[in-house]
Each structure stands twice: as C-alpha cells, then as structure tokens.
C-alpha cells in the first residue's frame, strides 16, 4: 500500500455495501455528501462490496486522488455489521481487516494515551 500505517493516518470505513463500479469521482462525492467527511483530508476511506470479496480505499495524496483495490479470489472480508454510516478505525485495524481478521481482536493490546510521564 502507498500510505504509511505508522503515520497516524485516519481511516474511515463506509458501513454496509458499496457498488464497486464506483470510481474516484463517485466515491469522493459519496465521502463528502453521504459520510459528511472531507475527501481532501488525507484520510483513507474504505468501501466493501455486497459479497465482501472486494474493498476499495480512496485517499487524497498531495495533488490527486488515489484509488486502491483488493479483490479476494477465495474467502470474504470480515466487514463489520453496524447501523452506523461510517466507522473510524486505526490503520492497525485496517491491516487486520485486509488480512482476514475481525476488527475487534480480543487478544490485542489496547493503545494507551498519556500526557505526562510523572
């Protein structure tokens, strides 16, 4: 993948299924109008088809949109079932999802946030 997982990039999953015939123009409009997010933010916006066999990731890179796609030849993605329109996840969780794992890994260490060492 082109984007750097360690850079703290924000990742948003579009819940439900998306028509995979959609390309950059339609997906960027979907991000702006349906998800009410800024497609130029540098965040990664991830979509999945009804069969859960294909995902597309859209993101803005300096001077243009990039569209990345992964199609599974066998198996299905464990796309989350939710009533929310969009989910904010970590790049780490996206990697899990692309590797065939569920977003919620019960054995995974949770990220800690501190503001002081004392």
Q: Is the pLDDT of residue 111 over 80?
A: no
Q: Is the pLDDT of residue 99 over 70?
A: yes
Per-residue pLDDT tens digits for 4-40: 555 678 999 998 899 999 999 999 999 999 999 999 9
Sign of torsion over alpha carbons 27, 32, 36, 41: positive
Q: Residue 72 has which token pair?
A: 């599974």
Which stretch of DSSP H or E encloses residue 11?
A: strand 11-14
User: Measured over all CA atoms, what is the biggest interatomic distance in the chain, rounded to whole angstroms?
Assistant: 53
The rounded Cα 32 to chain-centroid distance in angstroms is 15
Task: Please compute the mean of the pLDDT values over residues 112-118 and round it to a whole number.
Answer: 80
Q: Which of 114, 100, 93, 40 is nearest to 70 (CA)?
A: 100
Q: Is the pLDDT of residue 92 over 60?
A: yes
Instruction: Name the strands in the sheet holding 54-61, side by side, starting at the edge strand that comes first in the sequence.
Output: 64-71, 54-61, 44-48, 11-14, 86-89
Per-residue pLDDT tens digits for 48-80: 999 999 999 999 999 999 999 999 999 999 888
- The reported pLDDT for the residue numbered 96 is 86
Measured CA to CA, the distance from residue 24 to residue 60 in angstroms comes to: 10
Q: Where are the domains of the chain?
A: 5-98
């Amino acid at each position: 993948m082109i984007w750097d997982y360690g850079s703290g990039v924000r990742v948003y999953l579009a819940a439900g299924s998306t028509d995979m015939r959609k390309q950059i123009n339609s997906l960027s409009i979907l991000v702006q109008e349906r998800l009410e997010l800024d497609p130029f933010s540098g965040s990664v916006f991830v979509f999945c088809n009804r069969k859960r066999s294909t995902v597309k990731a859209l993101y803005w890179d300096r001077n243009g949109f990039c569209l990345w796609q992964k199609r599974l030849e066998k198996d299905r993605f464990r796309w989350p079932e939710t009533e929310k329109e969009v989910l904010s996840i970590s790049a780490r969780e996206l990697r899990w999802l692309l590797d065939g794992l569920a977003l919620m890994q019960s054995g995974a260490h949770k990220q800690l946030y501190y503001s002081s060492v004392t």
